[in-house]
């Protein structure tokens, strides 16, 4: 079925001259504030979806830092040299449970998104989340300590499935409904609300720290239900992504849902014309091919999928896995439990402010320069922390704490939000749900691997590296710098059609920023395209 129809109306000779394309090009050139006003309904729905991101961040801190609570350590830990600790084996298994569940959630999420829609994928995710919370709440019921640890492992596995499936789907949905000029700034909401969720979670953990018995940490678990209800209700009320219905051939339904995202009928038609043209181009290029996970690694899509995968590696490269365990890590370095939780909240608050600032840095600067900047300064900071770890005493403790806060601030302004932006832009519309699923699979796998290995590196009963763990992240950030320069193209303010044509032209990463529309027309509109039978029908316009 073609998404294009011919009609007896004024015609155009090339799709470069199509009025929908001109409209979107003009849209990308208006100011950030003007674009927000023009797409206010879309922005509102994206802000509403941040409730799911909030749950993701909240869950990370609750299940990641509950191990720093003395009452939890009494029920699930053991004593070593007079100090309560969580054994490295179980700490590692708990750390890896969330990512393992996340891998399953990301894979299944891609299938559900393409077969049942983005809304139903979100509904499934948040329903499963409520189940995971219930399992965590009863995890202390077994009388055997191994049984308690095993039930808590299952709870983290189920919750990891839910929150990562929700994040994967949310990223796909936002990337499909946002105009090009707003993609970067709005994707900055991912780290902002992740950190806001972490801040709320750290406050709940801190308030519950001195409660006697299991009530303190069980209240932390049960509080997650409140963060699951709002996004679950939203998943039933929000408009479906028009891209999903266009791909299914339900054009009238797609228009109805797009109308809920835009302020006028005219704007609705223009956006749908552009969407249909982008999808028609992809269908011409991929005639006779499927859209499964394996297709993400075929032809030009292999390169695009690798960029998505790298984007999901970025947070682990600059240190988010260690930063999420900052409270427990600082206790290992020598800081007391109360002070470590206070500084966890301070660091998260500073990270939130930095990521709010990234809304403006992403609007002004390209994704690649911001990513390179974040990795460069992180390399220096982690190296300094590693050197400080070669010594002992109060200075090492405070230097380590300051380093953790500076990393989250500087990467919050640059690398972290930029990775969400170029990771969402790189994949084709046809394979976007699957590509995001693969991306989050990589995110979960690496997060799980680091979560399993890190306790063996810094915990006192194993590697006991402490602050010298910074040297490991120095190496990671250097690799991140090299990979960003070699692999990631600049896609700021580019429309899906432009990005498709640049990838199909085989441009090197650093050539994307110099690409012009005239280059794309010569590539797509010439004899080569006609010889392949891949050109668009000439003198065609869209009608609804």
Q: Give yes or no for residue 486 having a pLDDT over 90.
A: yes
Least confident of 307-316, 333-342, 518-527: 518-527
Q: Which residue has the higher pLDDT, 138 or 2?
A: 138
The pLDDT score that the predictor gives to residue 489 is 93
Average pLDDT along the chain: 81
pLDDT confidence of residue 187: 84
- Residue 124's pLDDT is 93
Reported as a single tens digit per residue, the pLDDT across 398-408 is 999 999 999 99
pLDDT at 527: 34
Q: What is the pLDDT of residue 18?
A: 45
Cβ-based neighbours of 416, under 8 Å, separated by 6 or more? 191, 314, 315, 318, 320, 355, 358, 374
Query: What are the tens digits of pLDDT across the range 258-317?
Result: 999 888 888 888 888 888 887 777 666 655 555 678 888 888 899 999 999 999 999 999
CA distance 385 to 379: 10
- Containing 85, the helix (H) or strand (E) segment is strand 83-85
In Å, how far are 68, 77, 503, 526 from 492, measured between CA atoms? 41, 48, 14, 27
Residue 286: predicted pLDDT: 59
Express each pLDDT in 490-502 by its tens digit.
998 888 888 888 9
What local confidence, expressed as pLDDT, does residue 523 receive?
42
| The predicted structure's pLDDT at residue 469 | 92
Architecture of the CATH domain 40-238+290-493: Up-down Bundle (1.20)
How large is the average pLDDT for residues 152-176?
90
What is the model's pLDDT at position 269?
A: 87
What is the mean predicted confidence (pLDDT) over 86-91?
Answer: 78
Q: pTM value?
A: 0.72
Report pLDDT for 154.
Answer: 93
Residue-wise pLDDT for 434-467, tens only, equals 888 888 888 888 877 887 788 888 888 777 888 8
Phi–psi pair at 527, nearest 5 degrees:
-65, -30
The torsion of the CA quartet 283, 286, 289, 294, rounded to 10 degrees, works out to -110
Q: At 227, is the pLDDT very low, low, confident or very high (cuts 50, 70, 90)?
A: confident
Note the pLDDT of residue 497.
Answer: 81
488 has a pLDDT exceeding 90: yes
Half-sphere exposure of 386 (CA within 13 A, CB side): 14
Q: Averaged over 527-543, what is the pLDDT?
A: 35
């Amino acid at each position: 079925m073609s998404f294009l129809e011919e009609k007896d109306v004024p015609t155009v000779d090339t799709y470069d001259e199509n009025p929908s394309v001109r409209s979107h090009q003009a849209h990308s050139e208006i100011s950030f504030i003007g674009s927000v006003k023009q797409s206010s309904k879309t922005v509102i729905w994206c802000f509403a979806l941040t409730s799911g991101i909030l749950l993701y961040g909240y869950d990370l801190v609750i299940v990641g830092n509950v191990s720093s609570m003395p009452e939890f350590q009494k029920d699930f830990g053991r004593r070593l040299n007079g100090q309560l600790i969580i054994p490295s084996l179980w700490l590692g298994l708990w750390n890896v449970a969330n990512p393992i569940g996340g891998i399953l959630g990301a894979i299944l999420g891609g299938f559900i998104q393409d077969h049942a829609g983005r809304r139903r994928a979100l509904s499934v995710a948040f329903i499963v989340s409520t189940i995971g919370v219930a399992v965590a709440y009863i995890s202390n019921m077994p009388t055997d300590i191994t049984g308690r640890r095993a039930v808590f492992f299952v709870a983290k596995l189920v919750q990891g499935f839910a929150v990562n499936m929700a994040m994967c789907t949310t990223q796909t949905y936002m990337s499909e409904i946002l105009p090009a000029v707003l993609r970067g700034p709005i994707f900055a909401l991912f780290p902002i609300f992740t950190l806001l969720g972490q801040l709320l979670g750290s406050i709940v953990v801190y308030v519950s720290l001195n409660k006697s018995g299991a009530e303190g940490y069980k209240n932390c678990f049960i509080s997650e239900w409140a963060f699951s209800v709002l996004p679950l209700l939203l998943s039933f009320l929000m408009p479906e992504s028009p891209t999903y219905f266009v791909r299914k051939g339900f054009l009238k339904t797609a228009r109805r849902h797009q109308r809920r995202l835009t302020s006028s009928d005219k704007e609705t038609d223009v956006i749908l014309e552009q969407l249909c043209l982008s999808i028609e181009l992809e269908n011409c290029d991929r005639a006779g091919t499927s859209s499964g996970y394996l297709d993400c690694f075929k032809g030009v899509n292999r390169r695009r999928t690798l960029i998505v995968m790298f984007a999901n590696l970025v947070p682990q490269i600059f240190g988010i896995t260690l930063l999420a365990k900052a409270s427990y890590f600082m206790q290992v370095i020598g800081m007391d439990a109360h002070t470590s939780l206070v500084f966890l909240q301070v660091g998260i608050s500073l990270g939130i402010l930095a990521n709010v600032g990234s809304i403006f840095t992403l609007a002004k600067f390209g994704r690649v320069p911001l990513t390179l900047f974040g990795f460069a300064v992180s390399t220096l900071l982690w190296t300094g922390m590693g050197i400080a770890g070669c010594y002992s005493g109060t200075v090492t403790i405070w230097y380590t704490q300051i380093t953790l806060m500076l990393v989250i601030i500087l990467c919050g302004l640059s690398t972290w939000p930029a990775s969400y932006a170029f990771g969402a832009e790189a994949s084709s519309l046809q394979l976007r749900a699957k590509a995001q699923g693969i991306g989050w699979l990589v995110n979960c796998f690496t997060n799980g691997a680091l979560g399993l290995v890190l306790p063996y590196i810094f915990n006192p009963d194993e590697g006991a590296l402490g602050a010298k763990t910074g040297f490991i992240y120095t190496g990671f950030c250097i690799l991140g710098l090299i990979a960003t320069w070699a692999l990631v193209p600049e896609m700021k303010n580019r429309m899906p059609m432009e990005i498709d044509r640049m990838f199909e032209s085989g441009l090197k990463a650093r050539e994307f920023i110099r690409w012009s529309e005239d280059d794309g027309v010569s590539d797509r509109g010439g004899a080569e395209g006609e010889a392949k039978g891949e050109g668009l029908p000439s003198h065609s316009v869209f009608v609804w």
